[in-house]
A = this chain, B = another copy of it.
Amino acid sequence: MAQKPSIPKGTRDFNPLEVSKRNYIIEIIRKHFERFGYQPIETPAMENRETLMGKYGEEGDRLIFKILNSGDFVKKVTPELWEQKDSGKLTPVLTEKALRYDLTVPFARFVVMHQNDIDFPFKRYQIQPVWRADRPQKGRFREFYQCDADVVGARGAVQELEFIQLYDRVFSDLGLKGVTVKVNNRKILSGIAEVIGAPQRLTDFTVALDKLDKIGREKVEAEMIAKGIPEASVRKAAPLFDLQGSASRQLESLKAFLSDSSVGMQGVSELEFLLLETERLGLHTASCQMDITLARGLNYYTGAIFEVSAPSGVTMGSIGGGGRYDDLTGIFGLQDVSGVGISFGLDRIYLVMEELGLFPSALSQTLEVFCLNFGAAESRAALKLIMQLRDRGIRADMYPDDVKVAKQFKYADKREVPFVVLIGDEELRQSQFTVKDMKTGHQESYPMEDWQRFAARLRP
Is the C-beta of A384 less than 8 angstroms from some C-beta in chain B? yes
Task: Assess whether B39 is in contact with A16, with CB atoms less than 8 Å apart.
Answer: yes
Task: Assess whether A391 is in contact with B169, with CB atoms less than 8 Å apart.
Answer: yes
Chain A residue total in the interface (Cβ 8 A): 112
Known: A70-B133, A72-B87, A114-B15. A158 touches B383 (CB 8 A): yes
Task: Assess whether A383 is in contact with B162, with CB atoms less than 8 Å apart.
Answer: yes
Is the C-beta of A241 less than 8 angstroms from some C-beta in chain B? no
Give the chain B neighbours of A366 by CB distance below 8 A: 34, 37, 39
A-B contact pairs, 21 of them (CB 8 A): A2-B331, A3-B333, A5-B112, A5-B333, A7-B44, A7-B47, A7-B48, A15-B114, A19-B42, A20-B40, A32-B390, A35-B394, A37-B396, A45-B45, A46-B143, A62-B71, A70-B133, A121-B399, A154-B400, A158-B398, A162-B383
Task: Assess whether A37 is in contact with B397, with CB atoms less than 8 Å apart.
Answer: yes
Q: Which of A404-459 contact B (CB under 8 A)?
A: 411, 414-415
Task: Assess whether B5 is in contact with A19, with CB atoms less than 8 Å apart.
Answer: no
Task: Assess whether A387 is in contact with B156, with CB atoms less than 8 Å apart.
Answer: no
From the candidates B45, B151, B169, B332, name the one contacting A2 in the complex (CB within 8 A): B332
**Contact digits for A46-76, partner B, Cβ 8 Å, 1 yes 0 no:** 1110110000000000110111101111110
Is the C-beta of A6 less than 8 angstroms from some C-beta in chain B? yes
Report A's interface with B, CB cutoff 8 A.
2-8, 11-16, 19-20, 22-23, 32, 34-37, 39-48, 50-51, 62-63, 65-68, 70-75, 82, 85-87, 90-91, 94-97, 99, 109-110, 112-114, 117, 119, 121, 123-124, 129, 131, 133, 142-143, 151, 154-156, 158-159, 161-162, 165, 169, 277, 280-281, 330-333, 366-367, 373, 379-380, 383-384, 387, 390-391, 393-402, 411, 414-415
Task: Assess whether A11 is in contact with B332, with CB atoms less than 8 Å apart.
Answer: no
For the complex formed, measure the closest distance between the CB of A395 and the CB atoms of chain B, giving whole angstroms.
5
For the complex formed, measure the closest distance between the CB of A34 and the CB atoms of chain B, giving whole angstroms.
6
Please measure, in the bound complex, the distance between the C-alpha atom of A13 and the C-alpha atom of B121, giving whole angstroms. 19
The chain B residue with its CB closest to the CB of A49 is: B8
From the candidates B14, B45, B399, name the one contacting A42 in the complex (CB within 8 A): B14
Task: Assess whether B8 is in contact with A47, with CB atoms less than 8 Å apart.
Answer: yes
From the candidates B6, B13, B50, B63, name the one contacting A48 in the complex (CB within 8 A): B6
From the candidates B72, B161, B379, name the one contacting A383 in the complex (CB within 8 A): B161
Task: Assess whether A40 is in contact with B13, with CB atoms less than 8 Å apart.
Answer: no
Task: Assess whether A46 is in contact with B86, with CB atoms less than 8 Å apart.
Answer: no
From the candidates B37, B48, B154, name the one contacting A367 in the complex (CB within 8 A): B37
From the candidates B87, B121, B169, name the one contacting A390 in the complex (CB within 8 A): B169
Give the chain B neighbours of A159 by CB distance below 8 A: 400
Known: A156-B379, A331-B2. A119 touches B169 (CB 8 A): no
Task: Assess whether A23 is in contact with B40, with CB atoms less than 8 Å apart.
Answer: yes
Please measure, in the bound complex, the distance between the C-alpha atom of A298 and the C-alpha atom of B292, giving whole angstroms. 66
From the candidates B5, B19, B74, B395, name the one contacting A87 in the complex (CB within 8 A): B74
For the complex formed, measure the closest distance between the CB of A8 and the CB atoms of chain B, giving whole angstroms.
5
Known: A383-B158, A400-B154. A113 touches B5 (CB 8 A): yes
